[in-house]
Chain A
Amino acid sequence: MAAPFWQSWPSPWPSLLEETARKRSPSSWMEIRIRAGKPAALRTLDGEHFLPFVPSLEDVARLLSLFTEGSLHAWEAELAAGFLTLPGGHRVGVAGRGVVRDGRVHTFRQVTSLNVRVAREVRGGSLPLLPLVAPQGRLQSSLLVAPPGGGKTTLLRDLVRVLSEGEGIPPRQVTVIDERGEITSGFDVGPRTDVLLFLPKSQGMMMALRTLGPEVLAVDEVGRREDGEALLEAARGGIPVLATAHGRDRRDLQGHPLLAPLLPLFPVVLFLSPPPRPGHLLDLLSPREAVLR
């Protein structure tokens, strides 16, 4: 069994989280919230739990040093976007004193909070969705929609693996554009998967279409203006796209100024339930407008 991701963290985190893991199974962990001068907190599927430790600014700095390999300069682009991705796909949101240059966030000088979003692998979790995403084995462009913590990335990751391995469906050449490293970092995403890591989605999609000959494209969290053009290009080439987006329900999505125009490109839109039941199908927007419960 792989060592838990917190094992290399500085003291007292390993013992603290080990103790916590004995009380609450790490499979239910969603976020570890670390704020200087405030009690650390763990968000699980069943709620928020404060931990018996108040990290200091120095503790936060030590963690950040570990996450950035003691080299803030090497993570400038990620810090400018406000997050880091750890090995294993865990995403760390960063808050603190920002440095703005030319009107853009450049980096953080003093980090006061870290929010570690725990990535999970649910092998086979996407299999129940396969008949909806690929009716009669014909893969459709599909959009997985859920609020934060709804399991979008976890399901997308497993869908990629299933398609790449050909589990219950003929295998496909899959290209993942993993802008934040959350989908693929440290996970098994199948033998026929190419990964474009830390590239902007739109550029990555265009690059993949031109050079990698994908049979399926997978991207996390579409919704920027420039994503539309790349998605359209994929649709023109007849390449199905699996994507995720933030949202709660169809009203939420249809009222979104950037996502609504993209909807015609996705014959299948799956709405997933928020915590405490992430990854469960709530609603389906399909060409037939069927609603499943």
Chain B
Amino acid sequence: MKALGFLLFLLSGWGLGWAMASFIRRRPKELWAWSHALSLLGSEVEYAALPLPQVWERLSREVGGLPGRVCREALFLWEKGLRDAGEAWQKALLASAEGSALWPEDQELLLRLSPLLGRTDREDQVRHLRWTAGHLEQRAKELERSSQEKARLVLYLSFSGAAALALLLL
């Protein structure tokens, strides 16, 4: 019985650690995904000169994860009658913030695009999109190594913490 309890403690400690570690690992992944999505958005604006609702429609099919969901939501809002691309983008981003691993400062970078999207010429749109994509990529690169280390640390700590607690309780 005691052995089973000990095992359960270990398992729950490991599970908690694994959940926390994967959340930590998600941030750079999401940053990469956003950087990729914004680069695609920039390319569609630059080369195809497509209107944003059409680009969102395409990206929601081609890009997975959070950026794909935000594009789908922005398109949904546009089709529902919100005829302001920037506002649709902002609302879609805020609606998706809850399930995201991005930090407020990452969200802020994406939100800063809202008053600009669709309101200026192609050159300007592309410049802003590339600038934001570049910043997100830079953050993702910086985070990649440290987040791996942090995730591993959290996993070990929670596992060993659970083991120590279980030993004390034995």
Q: Which residue of B84, B88, B119 contacts A72 across the interface (Cβ within 8 Å)? A: B119
B118 within 8 A of A: yes
B50 close to A74 (CB less than 8 A) = yes
Contact A70 B85 (CB under 8 A): yes
Decide if A68 touches B118 in the complex (CB within 8 Å): yes
Whether A70 pairs with B121 at a CB distance below 8 angstroms is no
Quote the shortest CB–CB distance from B45 to chain A (angstroms): 6
0 or 1 for each of A102-116: is its CB under 8 Å from B? (1 = yes): 000011010000000
> Contact between A69 and B45 (Cβ–Cβ < 8 Å)?
no
Query: Could you tell me the distance between the alpha carbons of A109 and B78 in the complex, rounded to whole angstroms?
Result: 23
Contacts of B53 in A (CB 8 A): 69-71
Query: Is A71 a contact of B83 with CB atoms below 8 Å?
Result: no
- Are A65 and B118 touching (Cβ within 8 A)? yes
B125 in the interface (beta carbon within 8 A): yes
**A10 and B118 contacting across the interface, CB-CB below 8 Å:** no
Residue pair A73, B78 in contact (C-beta under 8 Å): no
Q: Which of A55-86 contact B (CB under 8 A)?
A: 62, 65-66, 68-74, 76
B49:A65 contact, CB within 8 angstroms: no
A71 near B51 with CB under 8 A, answer: yes
A201 to chain B, nearest CB (A): 21
Closest residue on chain B to residue A10 by CB atoms: B83
Q: Does A260 contact B (CB under 8 A)?
A: no
Q: State whether A69 and B51 are in contact (beta carbons under 8 Å apart), knowing that A10-B83, A62-B83, A62-B84 are contacts in the complex.
A: yes
Q: Which residues of A contact B (CB under 8 A)?
A: 10, 62, 65-66, 68-74, 76, 99, 106-107, 109
Q: Which residues of B contact A (CB under 8 A)?
A: 45, 49-54, 78, 83-86, 88, 117-122, 124-125
